[in-house]
Amino acid sequence: MKLAVVGTGYVGLVAGTCFAESGNDVICVDIDESKIAMLKQGKVPIYEPGLEEMVRRNAAEQRLSFTMDLPAAVRSSEVIFIAVGTPQGPSGNANLDFVRATAKGIAQAMDGFKIIVTKSTVPVGTADQIKLWIAEETSHPFAVVSNPEFMKEGAAVEDFMKPDRVVLGGDNDEAIEAVKELYEPFLRTGNPILTMDSRSAEMSKYAANAMLATKISFINEVARLCEGLNANISEVRRAISLDRRIGPHFIFPGVGYGGSCFPKDVRAMIGMGGQDPEMFLLQAVERVNEGQKGLLVEKVKRHFGDNLSGHIFAIWGLAFKPRTDDMRDAPAITVIDALLDAGAQVQAFDPEAMMEARKLFGERIRYAQRNYDALNGASALLILTEWNEFRRPDFQRIKSLLKQPVILDGRNIYDPADLRKLGFDYISIGR
């Protein structure tokens, strides 16, 4: 099948590449000239494990191409996916300017029946609005299908190729069947394709992310209570995770969630509710998360005092999670800003997010070439992202490089008893 994917961010580029991998002819479209130039050279502007290799292979086999020419891509395609950004607006609601511009651009280029699939995360009712935008610009027949993505950054390729489920929303049977056909190669194990109305499909994405964010904020709140009552959140987590109604996923305490989805989608869902119905639970989820981002700095100040002038702090981990370079709403931003405001200096290292950090912090912090380089002369080490390479470090080397043997672990990746035996002041979350 001939496809166009508009938008080459995490969602669009992964979707387009994976569809090409299953044998379709895919044109990826973007208005960013530099991004298209990079992709034509086989370079991927985001870090996602396995993606660059797939892009190069499918481009070489002429199933995957990149262009800024939306009209040509539309005319040569049967199905067009909208995968552009929906950034948070001033009120917390999703900004649909890019979606509207894309829908109108598609409509103006149509030369016959087209299936337009919304892959972007959009508020409930957007599919209906897209129909109106397109109808204003063309008399050609078309169908709109809602197809929210459920990929995790850092595992996006695997999630797309082996989805738990595919959700399709719409009222045109022909269009639904065509999109089903696209996904069938990825569902050989029997995982379902769920069909429903477009509003329910749109809501399913927000509800999924809000539920996961709620689990994170819940375990973080319990962790705070454990600290106050001298209980161990690791043992509590182990006990509750064995309950099949709860399970082990997304109940790891830490410095809060970040990224491009959870913060934006929770706020958007709060905005969709407005005053009737007011989203009391999700408001609390957001408050807990924002407080959690500052928790590690509170612990730093309890140990070193409120005035951190003269102290250097080493930070391992800048991305909001491992296996990505994404720093959008990352807890590291809150932590670093607070340390700098208190007079401290920061030396940071992340395996993939250093370029993103430079865009955010410029010369306000120092950037280490290797993880141990960040420790030189530092008063303490702060762990903010649980990259695998941080899990089994040379603790004696860490101790020799730090001015004081202090580790503040915002992801609970070390055993407190082991670290204390080695002579560290070890401070973690809820333990």
Diameter of the chain measured on Cα atoms: 74
Residue 166 backbone phi and psi in degrees, to 5: -120, 130
d(CA 236, CA 222): 9
Q: In what order do the strands lie in the sheet with 345-349?
A: 366-367, 345-349, 312-316, 380-383, 406-409, 425-427
Write the CA distances from 305 to 312, 339, 407, integer angstroms: 13, 12, 16
Encoded tokens for 4: 């166009």
Burial class (CB in 10 A: 0-12, 13-18, 19+), 396: exposed
Encoded tokens for 286: 């957001």
261 catalytic, yes or no? Answer: yes
Catalytic residue among 18, 28, 226, 261: 261
195 forms beta bridges with 168
The residue type of 399 is K
169 forms beta bridges with 146, 196
Residue with token string 């109305």:
197
The residue type of 219 is I
Residues marked active site are found at 261
